[in-house]
Amino acid sequence: MSSIADREWTRQKEYQRIADTFKKTGDYKQMYEDYASISKDLWEDTDRKDYQADLWYFFNCNEICLEMLGNLCEGKRVLSIGGGFWVEKRFLDSISAKEIIRTDLIPDEGVLEEDAQHLSFLESSFDVVICRELIEHVPDEQKVYEEIKRVLVPGGLLLITTPNAYSIAIDGTFHVRGYTPTTFLAELKEKGFNVLKKRGNVPYCFHGLKLYVGIGGETARIVLNDFKKIDELTKDDENRYYLGTQLFVLAQKGE
């Protein structure tokens, strides 16, 4: 069996290969499929030094979204776009709703194949749309917003998340755009949504947490516990929206 370092080095080379191929071909779907394959391999590698940190990070994001939604999905039809990730399934399984439809560019068991830029659903089909960690990836975000508004009922809700551009850089391939806390709110308003709630997760989490837990051993345990403590101390502060690694917004479709 290859060492942890060897597996990580192989993944990094594969990331670069995918980026180089996309720049040559512009084949967005193939690029997305390639990244999904690496992600699957990454989560199967439970021996990697940052595995426990990754689990905590994504489950923490789930908890924030569940708190924002509360019971707003009860008795409602919910659409998840870009919902093929196993973490997304775990999140959606925790929601009480009349019906939840999971979609993604890549179909899977329980996941319909849908391009978020060209949804096949009728107008006013859903009460709630969930769009987590997708808007920074798609070639045409304008079409995504138009499709979300089209399938939402009047006054329907949108739960949308994206990386904070101050924490996660644009790479031009997988992350084709980025939003600061202020520009994200402005974009949602421009696209016809009224912001109801905004939240942020732990500051510096992606780079700080991932960097130092990668050292492994006792250092990894100490760093993860520090981030858990930071989360506990700041979780009720709404200003964390402007500091967090990810931006979380609950918005309502305008008139």
As a whole number of angstroms, the distance between CA 179 and CA 242 comes to 11
Spell 111-135 as b/e; 16+ CB within 10 A means b. Answer: bbebbbbebebeeebbbbbbbbbbb
Of 99, 91, 98, 102, nearest to 68 (Cα)?
Answer: 91
Written as six digits, the tokens of 83 are 């919902």
**pLDDT at site 100:** 97
Cα–Cα distance list, 5 to 1, 132, 215 (Å): 12, 30, 11
**pLDDT at site 6:** 76
**pLDDT at site 204:** 77
Spell 167-177 as b/e; 16+ CB within 10 A means b. Answer: bbeeeebbbbb
Residues of the chain with pLDDT under 70: 1-2, 4-5
The sign of the dihedral angle between the CA atoms of 37, 42, 46, 48 is positive
Q: Which residues contact 159 (CB under 8 A, 6 or more apart)?
A: 65, 68, 69, 128, 129, 130, 131, 132, 248, 249, 250
Written as six digits, the tokens of 67 are 């708190």
Q: Tokens 């709404």 identify what position?
A: 238
Please tell me whether residue 234 adopts helix, strand or coil conformation: helix
**pLDDT at site 249:** 98
Q: Which residues contact 45 (CB under 8 A, 6 or more apart)?
A: 4, 7, 51
Q: What is the C-alpha radius of gyration for the chain, rounded to an integer number of angstroms? A: 18
**pLDDT at site 144:** 97
Q: Tokens 């924002």 identify what position?
A: 68
pLDDT digits 0-9 by tens, 64-86: 999 999 999 999 999 999 998 99
Q: Which amino acid is at 208?
A: G
pLDDT digits 0-9 by tens, 132-168: 999 998 999 999 999 999 999 999 999 999 999 988 8
Q: Tokens 């708190």 identify what position?
A: 67
**pLDDT at site 1:** 46
